[in-house]
Structure 1
Amino acid sequence: MNEIHALQSDNELVFNRIYQDYHPRIYGFILNRTKSDYMAEEVTQLTFIKFWKSRHTLSHTLEIQIQLFGMARQVMIDLLRKEATRFKYEGDTAETPLTNSLINAIESKDLLQIIEKDMENMPKMRRLVFDLSRKQGMSHREIADLFSISTKAVEKHIGKALGQLKQHLYSVML
């Protein structure tokens, strides 16, 4: 996290090193999702501009990679939305549903990956209870009976799981 302190002290050498390290990865990440060289180049450049401009508000608790890729994802979605709006106002409606479905697919896929990864890091019991409740559709009573715990304990596990997911998703969406 010393890199963040250096960035916040306007250290351009650290920024240049981060740019060199992450430019190809961000470009590949966007290219993989959009299948457009133009979009990948635009998003990559805009991401690093945004990264530099927001260096003073970077989190000291999140890795630079997480913050950069979160920014890249948001810049990509913003750019796709602009393109959809432009197509709409230019009368080219054939492109709009495609662009909108691409935005939705990217958001859904990324969100599911974030949730799944975050769930892997939960304590085992919390993960099991949450999984049984949300994925298997079991009631709190059924889960409580299965593990010989109270329904209050089940509610606590689910509440903590939701809190953890919300906190992580909030930090990623910034």
Structure 2
Amino acid sequence: MESIVQDIKNGNIERFKMVYQQYHAKLYFYVLKCTHSAYLSEETVQLSFILLWERREKLSTSYNISAQLFRIAKSVMTDLLRKQQVRNRHTACMVQEQPDWHMETDITVKEELQQVYNSIEQLSPIRKNVFKLSRFEGLPHKEIARQLSISPKTVENHILRAVRQLKDSLLLVLILLIRHLL
């Protein structure tokens, strides 16, 4: 175990990729179990691996990589949950102070939600199917793989690419909206 931590501390990208492959799904399902949110799970996993790499020099060879990675993830998850709680409080205050704002927000949310559904429909048929089974029906990767006769790794790849594609398309919509408002 010490060698894995030391390799990552030394900047060994191949060892980092190996750790990513080994722990990505485990970390995702750990966070999903705690938060019941696919979005928070994705964000936590992504930020945890980014922090692991950015702060690799500070890793301790006294602890295995798994313990350190899950400690980072717990910290990131706690931070994201705190931020979400603050957003929810501010939204509640805005609704109380400006009831009209809530109606406008509801309309905006419905439009944004429609845009998300449109973006999902733009995915390739297999990717769209895998994504819907995962995110809408909550099936685990192994079950999706069994149903579609593909490997769990292929399921994971489809989901990761779908999320990336959705983020890109929604970012483009956001940019166009901002330009329109300016």
When the two structures are superposed, what TM-score results if normalisation uses the length of structure 1? 0.52
How big is the alpha-carbon RMSD for the aligned residues of Structure 1 and Structure 2? 1.7
Which residues of 2 match residues 117-132 of structure 1 at below 5 A? none
Which residue number corresponds to residue 51 of structure 1? 52
In 2, the alpha carbon distance for the partners of 1:2 and 1:78 equals: 30
In 2, the alpha carbon distance for the partners of 1:92 and 1:8 equals: 45
Which residues of 2 match residues 43-82 of structure 1 at below 5 A? 43-82=44-83
In 1, the alpha carbon distance for the partners of 2:6 and 2:38 equals: 33
In 1, the alpha carbon distance for the partners of 2:33 and 2:6 equals: 32
Which residue number corresponds to residue 28 of structure 2? 27
Which residue number corresponds to residue 90 of structure 1? 91
Aligned-pair CA distance for 1:3? 1.1
Unaligned runs of 5+ in 2: 95-182
For 1:93-151, what per-residue CA distance to the aligned partner results, in whole angstroms no more than 9, with x for missing partners? 9xxxxxxxxxxxxxxxxxxxxxxxxxxxxxxxxxxxxxxxxxxxxxxxxxxxxxxxxxx
Identity, in percent, stands at 37
For 1:36-82, what per-residue CA distance to the aligned partner results, in whole angstroms no more than 9, with x for missing partners? 11111110101101111111000110111100111111100000000
Aligned-pair CA distance for 1:89? 1.6
1:40 partner SS: helix
Q: Which amino acid aligns with 1:81?
A: R
Aligned-pair CA distance for 1:8? 1.4
Q: Which amino acid aligns with 2:15?
A: V
Kindly tell me the number of residue pairs found equivalent between the two proteins: 94
When the two structures are superposed, what TM-score results if normalisation uses the length of structure 2? 0.49
Contact preservation (8 Å) 2:5, 2:64: no
Extract structure 1 runs of 4+ deviating beyond 4 A: none
In 1, the alpha carbon distance for the partners of 2:67 and 2:29 equals: 15
Unaligned runs of 5+ in 1: 94-174
2:63 partner SS: coil
Structure 1 53/34 Cα, relative in aligned 2: closer, same or farther at 3 Å? same
Which residue number corresponds to residue 137 of structure 2? none
Contact preservation (8 Å) 2:29, 2:41: yes
Which residue number corresponds to residue 7 of structure 1? 8
In 2, the alpha carbon distance for the partners of 1:64 and 1:5 equals: 10
